[in-house]
Amino acid sequence: MRRVIITILIALAALAGIGAIAVATGDGSTVTKARLERALPVVFANQYAEQARLLGHPGITAESLHPVAMCDKHGPDFPDVGPGSDWICLMGWTDPNVPMPPEGYGKFELNVHSNDCFTAGGPSKLVGFQMLTDTAGRSVNNPVFEFDGCFDPSTDNSPTGTVFPSVLNVASTVLPVDAAGKVGLQVTCGTGADGCAGTIAAASGSTQLGTITYKLKEEATATLAVPTAVPPDAKDVTFTFTPTAGMAPPSAATVPLGR
Amino acid sequence: MTSSAVDVTPAADRGTPGSGKAPSLVSALRWEVRKLASQYRARAVLAGALLGPIPVAVVLHAQSRPPKDTLFGRYATTNGFSLALLILGFSCQWVLPLLTAIVAGDIFASEDQHGTWKTVLTRSTSRAKLFWAKALAAGGFAVVMVVFLSVSTIAASVLIGGHQPLVGVSGQLIGAHEALRLVSVSWATTLAPTLGFTCLAMLLSIATRNPAAGIATPVVLGMVMQLVGALGGIEAIRPLLLTTPYESWHGLLASPRFTGPLTQGLVVSGAWSLVALLAGFVMLRRRDITGG
């Protein structure tokens, strides 16, 4: 029995030794931002063409879509390399039947494995839901709602240069007013290249409440304080956005006050 | 021991099939095959490899929700080729190492268990010849087992799941004929790492002199290697693990096809096999068998 234990220990020690050497000599994971940005559009285009065939959309082929992607792992301050379920890819493509939103992309969530395979989930607004109705009226699986793919670990790893802007969104549905009459607007800055920055002009009816300067990293939320107290009889506050980085709501947003 | 008098290097032993020593290797091999053929365990493994995939395919195909968390699981309930590849992925986790280790992990240690080393070595065969005969028998068994398991899985999956076009790992559709060819080749790629595990099991069989340890340890090592390979941060060692070649078939189902991992897998499996075989050979040659 001692021989058995010694052998097993030696085997495990040998394995650990190999591991130590490999870790000491390099740390390259084959899962990188650039490789995902090249692999995801290929798989997506093929599956999207299949979806178009099921839906009976004519003229859509894998070649006609021209999809491009920008991928990011785990927020802004994190190296975009290695497997994980925290990869997000923004992808834009051309389909006359389904126009892109103003920012020009949809958000895909990826679970990437160390074996260079991944599962991607698409945005329902652009790719539809789990099941779709085909031309024959049957309910079938939507191939782009969720799909699997693998990529060659030796493919080109140079940056693709695809850049998509972050989008600033208003998260507050109601603005609580504090004792001093001050309010704060909660905003989110989504995944994108350079975060969100700019100014927001706040007004309540004809009363100007001042200008807020904002600067957020991508994938962040913030509560922006309105400089001036709101008038006691005000019902809501209207915000007008002037972005200098990233996208912001093109039309003014009016949020009711909660007293 | 007299064996030192007939010391031959392993290469020379194999490389002279026409010489006077060759018939002795053949007869030693014949004995080993005969021992295997009469072993209940070996026959059970082959029967399991041939019949096991049928109920597995039936059960997987009947799932109301496809096992989407595994590659090719998404369409496994609607496509026979996907089903065959799902079972392939599953087999690579521990089934193939276990099935080959059941024979290879026992083939040397059983002589210890039964105390028959002295008996077999007093037959007119050297330790070297006995070693290679056992290695060839275990390797041959692994090949037959993989062939049985592949053919049975592919036949059962396609018959049960149908032969619609397969969705490849680039999202492309692969026609039935090409899909059948690629699925068969994918199954064939498991031969190299399975033979690697065969050699590893033989080494452990020699080292531990215990059939249970010889069978279980390669399976456990395989699982440890898989766990290590799946971890992030230490991926530099992934290519060196014996379980990584089991995933090299993914590239065959991509468009464009890539075979880099496949070549790397062959080299890695070959290196593991060679090191395990040589270590086992040296260990057996240096062993003092006078005690029985």
Closest CB from A19, A113, A146 relative to B234: A19
pLDDT tens readout for residues B200-241 = 999 999 999 999 999 999 999 999 999 988 887 777 888 899
Domains of chain A in start order, with CATH, are 33-150 (no CATH), 168-258 (2.60.40)
Residue environment code for A34-50, b if the CB has 16+ CB neighbours within 10 A, otherwise e: bbbbbbbbbbbbbbbbb
CA nearest neighbour of A150 among A52, A27, A38, A75: A38
Residue of A nearest to B66 (CA): A141
Residue of A nearest to B272 (CA): A15
**Given a cut of 50, is residue A244 above it in pLDDT?**
yes
ipTM comes to: 0.86
Closest CB from A8, A83, A114 relative to B217: A8
CA nearest neighbour of B167 among A46, A152, A115: A46
Closest CB from B217, B236, B254 relative to A28: B236
Size of chain B in residues = 292
**Given a cut of 80, is residue A17 above it in pLDDT?**
no
Is residue B20 less than 8 Å (CB to CB) from chain A? no
Residue B121 has what pLDDT?
A: 80
Instruction: Give the Å distances, CA to CA, from A154 to A46, A157, B227, B250.
Output: 21, 8, 23, 14
Counting Cα atoms < 13 Å in the Cβ hemisphere of A216 gives: 28
The β-bridge relationship of strands A236-245 and A196-204 is antiparallel
B167 contacts in A (CB within 8 Å)? 47, 50, 143
Cβ B210–A25 below 8 Å, yes or no?
no
Minimal C-alpha gap between B179 and chain A (Å): 16
Residue of A nearest to B170 (CA): A43
Measured CA to CA, the distance from residue B97 to residue B107 in angstroms comes to 15
Residue A92 has what pLDDT?
A: 95
Residue of B nearest to A14 (CA): B221
C-alpha dihedral sign at A59, A34, A113, B196:
positive
* Structure tokens, B282: 């040296």
Cβ A11–B233 below 8 Å, yes or no?
no
Alpha helices in chain A (DSSP H): 2-25, 33-55, 124-127
Parts of chain B with a pLDDT under 70: 1-23, 123-124, 291-292
A28 contacts in B (CB within 8 Å)? 235-236
A121 contacts in B (CB within 8 Å)? none
Give, in degrees to the nearest 5, the angle at Cα B55 between B53 and B61: 95
* pLDDT band per the 50, 70, 90 thresholds, residue A36: very high
Using omega within 30 degrees of 0 as the cis cutoff, is the peptide bond preceding B256 cis?
yes
Q: What is the mean pLDDT of residues A127-142?
A: 92
